[in-house]
Amino acid sequence: MRPAPENQLPRSAVRAWRISSVLVGLLILMVPVFLWLLGLGEDGPPRWLAYGLAGAVAVCTGVWTLLIPEIRWRRWRYQVDEHEIDLRRGAIIISRTLVPANRVQHVDTRQGPILRNYGLADVTISTAATTHKIPALDEETAELVRDRISQFARLAQEDV
């Protein structure tokens, strides 16, 4: 059996993912707030529905903020070599993806405002069929990985 990929994401990814989870939770919390506002009139939905939804959103946001980023960070691994990109992720359902270097069409780095705040960037690897992502690498590491994958893809396509 093939050994697990060696490289782990930086620890600062956990903080960035937690902030993203809180922001998404606050956005979803707008639904119960809207229902509560509708319930202020006589014909609106009952207020208990808004309170129940707000409680459910708060619990889900708490779990998604406190537990999921830590578990995600512990499980994510990647490795890049001249033949393929090896990606492993997931806790309950573990996904392992091997992307052959000769199938890579282009490689990008992307940063949103939260990742930029922590000096992180995603690396996206595009093939003809789909796109794969290595999330939340340090900016310097992301650029090195992007350049390395690009170099390996170019060499693999020259061999074909």
Mind listing the pLDDT tens digit for each residue in 33-71? Answer: 888 888 776 777 788 888 899 999 999 999 999 999 999
CA distance 158 to 68: 42
How much is the average pLDDT of 73-86?
96
Q: What is the pLDDT of residue 160?
A: 62
Helix (H) or strand (E) holding 70: helix 68-75
pTM: 0.85
Mind listing the pLDDT tens digit for each residue in 25-42? Answer: 999 999 988 888 887 767
Provide the β-strand partners of residue 151: none
Task: Kindly state the percentage of the chain with pLDDT values over 70.
Answer: 99
How much is the average pLDDT of 10-20?
97
Summary mean pLDDT of the chain = 93
Q: What is the pLDDT of residue 40?
A: 73
How much is the average pLDDT of 84-100?
95
Q: What is the pLDDT of residue 116?
A: 97
pLDDT band at 128 (very low <50, low <70, confident <90, very high): very high
The one-character DSSP state at 4 is P
CB atoms under 10 Å from CB of 153, counted, come to 23
Q: What is the pLDDT of residue 106?
A: 94
Higher pLDDT, 90 or 39: 90
